[in-house]
Structure 1
Amino acid sequence: MIVTLLVALSGAVVSFLMSIVMWRVGIRYRLYPEIRDRDVHTRPTPRLGGIAMYTGLLTALLIASQIPYFRVVFYEGNQRQIIAILIAATLIVVMGVLDDFFDLDWTTKLIGQVIAAGLLAWLGGLQITQLPIGGVTITSTWSALALTLVGVVVVMNMMNFIDGLDGLVAGVAIIANGAFFLYSYMVLQLSSPSSYFSLATLVSATMVGVCAGFLPLNWHPARMFMGDAGSLLVGLMFAVASISIVSSVDPTTVFGNGVQFQRAQFATAFLPLLLPVAIMIVPVLDFGLAVVRRIAAGKSPFSADRKHLHHRLLDMGHSRLHATLIFYAWTAVISVGSLLFFVADQIVAWSFIGGGLLVCAIATLAPLSHRKRREYEVQAKPLATTTREIAVLDPLDRAATNPKERSA
């Protein structure tokens, strides 16, 4: 684990330094697009963070390729896999940068995403060929290819859809990839006690470092955004890590029939399939609502609007920082709770998730109670003012406004 974390640290350092370089370049040459109606920021900000993150990712992978421990990832028949990942990442970053500057049509972006997913599945062999539900195998090559294409494109767009607040995607990615790193590492310990290195652990740990290196310049108030290049890259690499472990791990063979498996038999059996979705619950929810909303309005599911979850939190009265922290909290509760199914009793995991979700719900809805209280105070203020004004009137004026005094 220490070696993997050192590789992630190298990605964080390079990502941070390149973020500073790209920020200075963007400010000096005014490489920032105009503010759009759906944007929440009020000053022009460079969107070159994706390039810095991409550089950090390449550096970390290059360093890892020179470490003997990672031979199982780079050299034991996996060269095509690594090449496919690098080509797909490059394509996504280039397309994302072009979209940030020229606002590409949604069909063009979708085609680019499908090509990137196809490279992973066809050239790299990263396909969902097995579902971790009793070892169910997808025997049809075309079915596995189609499922992989859909999965990769959906994950990329989920991360892209929530990219609307300072530090939101970077922070959510750190939490999600951190949880997935711990899960994949623990699975690896049980399935391959002699080797603690895999593509899933390397990619998820590296993305934690890359996003952590970028976050200081993206924290509110952000000096630079990651843009579509960064958010799509984060989604792509999370999909790579998820597919690589989902298709290769059968919980019945990893956990056997011992006490650990019996302790959380149902939850653990579905954990490899549900964990990537669970720890990305906020992007999943936002993506699903956006698709339904846009299709119902007769629009493309990839068309832009200002009705995402982060927009709704701002409209409820949350500040941009508070809205970001709420997203972090929801993601952390689901992520940690999912991992607890692996290492603790079900009652502990469900109690943590239930209590955490309750606290998150209260924090999310708090502005509504504040708003109602303010509305009540505003409505009550004119009545109180009128009462005080009548109290200070002289007797003749009070008589004019009070029937009893007027009759007296």
Structure 2
Amino acid sequence: MPMLGFICAAALLASLLVTPLVIRAATARNLFDIPSDARRVHTRPIPRLGGVAVFAAMVLALLLAMLAGALPSEVSGERSRFFEGILLGGGILFAVGLWDDLRGLPPLVKLLAQCVAASVVFTFGFQVDVISVGPTGELPLGWLSFPLTILWVVGVTNAFNLIDGLDGLATGIAIVALGTTLAVALALGNAEVAIVCVALLGALLGFLRYNFSPARIFLGDSGSLFIGFMLAVLSVHGSVKSATAVLAIVPLFALALPLLDTSLAIVRRWLRGVPLSGADARHIHHRLLAMGLTHRRAAVVLYVVATALAVLGVVLAFAPPAAVLVIALAGGGISLLLLLYGMRQLEYHEFAEAGMVLASGVRRVRRVIQDQIHARDIVQVIRQAETLRHLDAILEDNAPHFGFLGVEVCRETSSCRQRIAGLNGQTARAWKLDYPVTPRLFAEDDPYVLRIWCGLGDRNRPFGAERVARILAPAIESWLVSVGLVQQLSERGNRPLLEAHAGKLQENELEPALHWAARAGELSGGLRESRGMRLAQEAMTLHRARNRR
């Protein structure tokens, strides 16, 4: 339409004329963006009031079109409320951003202002009631319409603000998004969106002349907040294909790059355990510069990526239903591969480490479950052991299943020389776990332990030696008490010696203690379980004392 060309040309000319005036005014008042930290990539002070030039150029172009009667009749009446709402909301964020550029504002105040601006456009009719999720599918939002509108506007506004870190980058990305939105709005007959799009597009094209590397002026918060808000509203309103339904894929792909960069930043900071609102020098454009690209080349690369994603979104939105699935799978697969390759090239090692942990975690969970099931099976076999040597043989046969170098039951002070010799010198690169099996009642006691030898290599590294020991140790203790103690203390030849050294143990106490030991702790003879266990432990201690004599 000639009218759209006139508005775009007017905005372009106004921007080319106003921007130098803003540069001189900002320089005269010393309103610069100072390169004070690592995340700022410029090396000299740059004026930061570019938003004033963009806002003024767009408004002048719209006023000129209105005075010249260039606005079509389709945008009068109910649709004119769109102009009122978007200009009022945009004006609020422009004013807040300008104040932040001049005096500074806390982040919370700017966030509240974004919520207010989003509520304004919602009140003026910017409401997404139904989302189109395919050629024929629609998803009604109901009461979710308002919170999702606020979330979208605030999210896109902040995402655009975050990507404004390289000469000309945010301006170029906005031009790509506006071009996509304009094409979709014209295809769907949304004339009011097309008018605002060409006005803002012309203003940004003129501003890019001074903002591209080496930049003479930056957008500042007055520009990034205002433009981000406009993109959030225009991209959605321009994709309305009926009275209420919105082609959700168009705004998502048109703004894919800033949304992706923000999402990656949030996840990166969460993985690092730093505040999500904190600033860093690891955005996509920072990583491209770290790879050796110049400011110009980094910006152009991101322009191309943003354009490719926007084109993919438009193709998916307007492709024939039969081709949507094929295009979506092909485009999604290529995008995923490029994303993974890009994160690797950009050295986002946070995601590589997270992926390795998640992958190993799945394998680890499955292995732990398998080990614990197998340990429960071994418990059943241990109960059938006849001697301590037999018990050690059972443990030794099953050690490889857990990835252990060896497992045995021995005294705590035992050097296990036979075991060390059997490991063929691997103990120099191994560690051991001594898990208590029997209690230490006196200082001179030498209790039994379950000794597990573990290698250091990935193949031999166990998945939870302590978990396995917690299952096996009670079964081994029960076997030692029920088999070992009873065999030793219940023999007829040992009873006189035991009674001779029993001291505090009486005949009526010895029998229940032995009975408790034989039945692994069950109540017997009217004694409480803890009493029976203590008596059994005393009997074992006395028996060891007799053997030492």
Q: What CA deviation, in whole Å up to 9, does each residue of 1:56-96 have, x standing for no partner?
A: 111222234343543332x3124443222222112111211
288, 308, 312: which one pairs with 1:337?
A: 312
Taking the aligned partners of 2:344 and 2:271, their CA distance within structure 1 comes to 26
Q: How does 1:336-355 map to 2 (within 5 A)?
A: 336-341=311-316, 342=318
Taking the aligned partners of 2:70 and 2:13, their CA distance within structure 1 comes to 22
Residue 146 to residue 168, structure 1, CA distance change in 2 (3 Å): same
Q: Does 1:242 align with 2:235?
A: yes
Q: How does 1:52-201 map to 2 (within 5 A)?
A: 52-66=53-67, 67=69, 69-73=71-75, 75-122=76-123, 124-133=124-133, 134-140=137-143, 143-188=144-189, 198-201=191-194
**Equivalent residues of 1:106, 1:303 under 8 A apart:** no
Q: Which has the higher helix share?
A: 1
Residue of structure 2 in register with 1:388 after alignment: none
Identical aligned residues as a percent: 31
- Amino acid aligned to 1:6: F
Q: What CA deviation, in whole Å up to 9, does each residue of 1:152-172 have, x standing for no partner?
A: 011111111100000001111
Q: Displaced runs of 4+ in structure 1, greater than 6 A? A: 347-368
Q: What CA deviation, in whole Å up to 9, does each residue of 1:273-309 have, x standing for no partner?
A: 0111112221011111222233455555333222211
**Equivalent residues of 1:163, 1:169 under 8 A apart:** yes
**Equivalent residues of 1:295, 1:301 under 8 A apart:** yes
Question: Number of aligned pairs?
Answer: 338
Q: Does 1:14 align with 2:6?
A: no
Taking the aligned partners of 2:344 and 2:273, their CA distance within structure 1 comes to 30
**Equivalent residues of 2:126, 2:237 under 8 A apart:** yes
- Amino acid aligned to 1:179: T
Taking the aligned partners of 1:325 and 1:223, their CA distance within structure 2 comes to 18
Q: What CA deviation, in whole Å up to 9, does each residue of 1:356-402 have, x standing for no partner?
A: 9989998998899xxxxxxxxxxxxxxxxxxxxxxxxxxxxxxxxxx
Q: How does 1:215-254 map to 2 (within 5 A)?
A: 215-247=208-240, 249=242
What SS class does the counterpart of residue 229 from structure 2 fall into?
helix
Residue 118 to residue 251, structure 1, CA distance change in 2 (3 Å): closer
Q: Which moved more, 1:350-359 or 1:25-34?
A: 350-359
What SS class does the counterpart of residue 302 from structure 1 fall into?
coil
Taking the aligned partners of 1:365 and 1:325, their CA distance within structure 2 comes to 20
How far the C-alpha of 1:245 sits from its partner, in A, is 3.5
What SS class does the counterpart of residue 338 from structure 1 fall into?
helix
Residue 46 to residue 356, structure 1, CA distance change in 2 (3 Å): same
Residue of structure 2 in register with 1:325 after alignment: 300
Q: Does 1:24 align with 2:24?
A: yes
Residue of structure 2 in register with 1:202 after alignment: 195
What SS class does the counterpart of residue 131 from structure 1 fall into?
strand
Taking the aligned partners of 1:125 and 1:54, their CA distance within structure 2 comes to 23
How far the C-alpha of 1:312 sits from its partner, in A, is 1.5
- Amino acid aligned to 2:283: H
Q: Which moved more, 1:289-298 or 1:37-46?
A: 289-298
What SS class does the counterpart of residue 41 from structure 1 fall into?
coil
Residue 359 to residue 111, structure 1, CA distance change in 2 (3 Å): closer
Taking the aligned partners of 2:206 and 2:165, their CA distance within structure 1 comes to 19
Taking the aligned partners of 1:297 and 1:101, their CA distance within structure 2 comes to 33
275, 282, 285: which one pairs with 1:307?
A: 282
**Equivalent residues of 1:338, 1:349 under 8 A apart:** no
Taking the aligned partners of 2:216 and 2:185, their CA distance within structure 1 comes to 34
Q: How does 1:37-52 map to 2 (within 5 A)?
A: 37=37, 38-52=39-53
What SS class does the counterpart of residue 72 from structure 2 fall into?
helix
Residue 229 to residue 307, structure 1, CA distance change in 2 (3 Å): same
- The normalised TM-score by structure 1 is 0.74
Q: Which runs of 5+ in 2 are unaligned?
A: 348-549
What SS class does the counterpart of residue 247 from structure 2 fall into?
helix
What SS class does the counterpart of residue 77 from structure 1 fall into?
helix
How far the C-alpha of 1:103 sits from its partner, in A, is 3.5
**Equivalent residues of 2:93, 2:226 under 8 A apart:** yes
How far the C-alpha of 1:343 sits from its partner, in A, is 5.9
CA-atom RMSD, angstroms?
3.0
- Amino acid aligned to 2:74: V
Q: What CA deviation, in whole Å up to 9, does each residue of 1:295-327 have, x standing for no partner?
A: 455555333222211112112222211111111
How far the C-alpha of 1:200 sits from its partner, in A, is 2.0
- Amino acid aligned to 1:70: P
Q: Which has the higher strand share?
A: 2
Residue of structure 1 in register with 2:413 after alignment: none
Taking the aligned partners of 2:78 and 2:243, their CA distance within structure 1 comes to 22
Residue 359 to residue 135, structure 1, CA distance change in 2 (3 Å): closer
Residue of structure 1 in register with 2:525 after alignment: none
How far the C-alpha of 1:353 sits from its partner, in A, is 8.5
Q: What CA deviation, in whole Å up to 9, does each residue of 1:131-179 have, x standing for no partner?
A: 1233433333xx2221111110111111111000000011111111101
Taking the aligned partners of 1:8 and 1:115, their CA distance within structure 2 comes to 29
Residue 137 to residue 105, structure 1, CA distance change in 2 (3 Å): same
- Amino acid aligned to 2:141: I
- The normalised TM-score by structure 2 is 0.56
- Amino acid aligned to 1:60: A
Larger Rg over CA atoms: 2
Residue of structure 2 in register with 1:34 after alignment: 34
Taking the aligned partners of 2:284 and 2:303, their CA distance within structure 1 comes to 13
Taking the aligned partners of 1:42 and 1:222, their CA distance within structure 2 comes to 11
Residue 318 to residue 89, structure 1, CA distance change in 2 (3 Å): same
**Equivalent residues of 1:158, 1:284 under 8 A apart:** yes
Return the structure number with greater relative CO, CA threshold 8 A, min gap 6: 1
**Equivalent residues of 1:65, 1:71 under 8 A apart:** no
Q: Which moved more, 1:110-119 or 1:300-309?
A: 300-309
Q: What CA deviation, in whole Å up to 9, does each residue of 1:217-251 have, x standing for no partner?
A: 00100000011111111111112212324455389
Residue 367 to residue 110, structure 1, CA distance change in 2 (3 Å): closer
What SS class does the counterpart of residue 125 from structure 1 fall into?
coil
- Amino acid aligned to 2:231: F
Residue 226 to residue 70, structure 1, CA distance change in 2 (3 Å): same
- Amino acid aligned to 1:183: V
Residue of structure 1 in register with 2:373 after alignment: none
